[in-house]
Amino acid sequence: MSRQMIASLVCCWMLVAASAFGQTALFETKSLADWDFYVNEDGVKVEDVFSFTEDGRLLCTGLPFGYLATKESYKNFKFAVEWCWTQEPTNSGIFLKITDQPKGSFLPKAIEVQLKHGDAGDIWAFHGRVATTDSAPRYTAAEVAAIGKFNGVKKLHDAEIEPGQWNAMEILCANGLLVVVVNGKIVNWTTTAEAISGRIGFQSEGGPIVFRNAVLTTLP
């Protein structure tokens, strides 16, 4: 990590710590009506894939592939969430800066912070989004038929807790800087996340997963 990057991180975390305003508990209403839902299959209802528990946890079946997204868009923010695999760990993710849903794809035009077991903290960018790093070995780019060209940055460290226990993630988005913290440890970052507004989404991609304590703190 460069000295400039370290200075940027320190400044951003200080900004987050000083910002008590604009904090929202995203699961507070426990209502699916407060969210947008997408799957690339006809006839699937949101309650077939997502549901809220009485204590405010978000349950996801993992199938079919899709996501639940906020109706509001956000530009600069700190987002905190916890997740737990209820069965064999598979795949999921947190979408950031969702601006569009390309026809025929199960992935939105967005940046994803990976929750896939073993890869939690990887950053991927789809359908024209960009996520790069000044460290070439951590950067990859590819193309597949279902989602076209995509690119991403592999995490530096593995900070996951073993399956069946709760993991915690914090994501900082600030004017193109995106920092990922897993269980209190900085595991990844990119400086090319684009300083644009977009929605936040929870991905359905493989198997049952539970989310809790999703808190968004907006930043100037």
Residue-wise pLDDT tens digits, 100-138? 999 889 999 999 999 999 999 999 999 989 998 877 678
**DSSP symbols for 29-77:** T--GGGEEEEESSTT--HHHHEEE-TTSPEEE---SSEEEEESS-BSSE
- Structural domain tally of the chain? 1
Rounded CA-CA distance 66/39 in Å is: 4
Residue 18 has pLDDT above 60, yes or no: no
Q: Identity (one letter) of the amino acid at 123?
A: I
Res 106: pLDDT: 92
**56 contact partners, CB below 8 Å, separation of at least 6:** 25, 27, 28, 30, 212
Q: Where are the alpha helices (DSSP H) in the chain?
A: 3-17, 46-49
- Cα separation, 187 vs 157, in Å, equals 5
Q: What is the pLDDT of residues 125-172, one digit of tens each?
A: 999 899 988 776 788 888 887 777 899 999 998 999 988 999 999 999
Range of the domain at 150: 3-218
Residue with structure tokens 């900085």?
186
Percent of the chain with pLDDT over 70: 90
Predicted confidence (pLDDT) per residue in 25-68, tens digit: 999 999 999 999 999 899 999 999 999 999 999 999 999 999 99
Is the distance from CB of 6 to CB of 134 less than 8 angstroms? no
What does the DSSP 8-state code read for residue 198?
A: B
Q: Label residue 12 by pLDDT band (50, 70, 90).
A: low
Q: Looking at residue 14, what is its pLDDT?
A: 54
Burial class of residue 194 (count of CB atoms within 10 Å of its CB; 0-12, 13-18, 19+) = buried
Residue with tokens 């699916």: 32
pLDDT at position 3: 44
Q: What is the CATH number of the domain that holds 188?
A: 2.60.120.560
**Are 209 and 61 contacting, i.e. CB atoms less than 8 angstroms apart?**
no
Q: Please say whether the beta carbons of 90 and 62 come within 8 A.
A: yes
Q: Judge whether 99 and 110 are in contact, CB under 8 Å.
A: yes
Q: Which two tokens stand for residue 100?
A: 């569009």
Question: Does residue 82 have a pLDDT over 70?
Answer: yes
Whole-model pTM over 0.75: yes
Residue 146 one-letter amino acid: A
Q: How many residues does the chain have?
A: 220
User: Which residue did the predictor score with more confidence, 8 or 43?
Assistant: 43
